[in-house]
Amino acid sequence: MDRKLPADAQAFLQGLLERHRANEEGKLTDYLPEFGATDPGTFAVAVATVDGELACAGDHGHAFTLQSMSKPFIYGLALDRFGRADVHRKVSVEPTGEAFNSIIELEEDHLPYNPMINSGAIAMSALLHHAAPEGAAEQIMAMFGAYLGREARLHEAVDAGALGGSHRNRAIAHLLRHFEVIGDDIEGALSLYARQCVVAVDTADLAMMAATLANGGVQPRTGCRAIGRDHLRDVLTLMFTCGMYDSSGAWAYTVGLPAKSGVSGGILAVVPGRMGLAVYSPRLDAHGHSVRGVEVFRSWSAQWRLGMFDR
Ligand code: GLN
């Protein structure tokens, strides 16, 4: 298997769902508006190749929000707009042993550890917002649209006017302000961060976004470039080392692919040069990752020998 999907891809995906459907461990996160009508058993997998071939199984048209899966894409946009030097004056590149929304490591080091956790992501939002207070929201939607190959929109269950951000994220932002990582417009940065979190996707979209990262930054179906080539390797590197927060080590060891999860229940992973993979199932483990998602990725990567060091 190289750039093409195996002939039995569809049946294989169906088999993944069947094998892991009985796992009902984990809980839905409690604060997402989209969960009003979500069946906790919703389950989908999708794969898209760098040639634009797509295979899906399960509830692959079910829409959910990106949440933290937005972070690698926003980091890429910040790199494209401001360059490595300016971006990394605001955020470091070290994994943390803490949760995604931890404030502890900020206290110790003052710079957010990496852009895949909330503190680092809010620092990126502040950078984008500060450079274009009026235009940043449109810029991020245009960027997501380039990956999606269609216009990006916010999830319909979200009232865009009420995009406030949690008190915890507000506390993180104030600490960032205290250490002068971000400027005075805390509300502007938080509202941009909240917006990136509620972009609506389904599992097939997520696989396409991952396939764009796999395809050197070019959307496989539209041929549009979504991120500069030089910065793609930065994004993939940080997805590999930091994308799964304080379980990034176990993920690298078992799945072996650059990836990112979100509390909505999605996980996307990239097989560079070959394909993008996505799983959705909203019950989460203690790290905030989809329980079934992690299990599916473990068997998928092992069976197709996808890990970076398995090939
Ligand atoms: N919106 C969420 C937050 O900031 C995203 C977290 C996540 O998906 N891990 O808390």
Q: Residue of the nearest CA to atom 4 in ligand 1?
A: 118
Span 40-63, pLDDT tens digits: 999 999 999 999 999 999 999 999
Please check the confidence at residue 118 and state whether its pLDDT lies above 70.
yes
Look at residue 87 in the predicted model and tell me its pLDDT: 98
Please check the confidence at residue 199 and state whether its pLDDT lies above 60.
yes
pLDDT band at 36 (very low <50, low <70, confident <90, very high): confident
**Residue 77 CA to ligand 1 centre (angstroms):** 19
| Mean pLDDT score across all residues of the chain | 94
Q: Is 68 annotated as a binding residue?
A: yes
Percent of the chain beyond pLDDT 90?
86
Over range 154-168, report the average pLDDT: 75
CB atoms within 10 A of CB 54: 19
Look at residue 253 in the predicted model and tell me its pLDDT: 97
Over range 66-91, report the average pLDDT: 97
**Tokens standing for 65?**
């929000």
The catalytic position among 45, 47, 50, 68 is 68
The catalytic position among 50, 218, 263, 271 is 263
Please check the confidence at residue 143 and state whether its pLDDT lies above 90.
yes
Higher pLDDT, 186 or 157: 186
Instruction: Of 40, 4, 55, 33, give the one whose Cα is nearest residue 278.
Output: 55
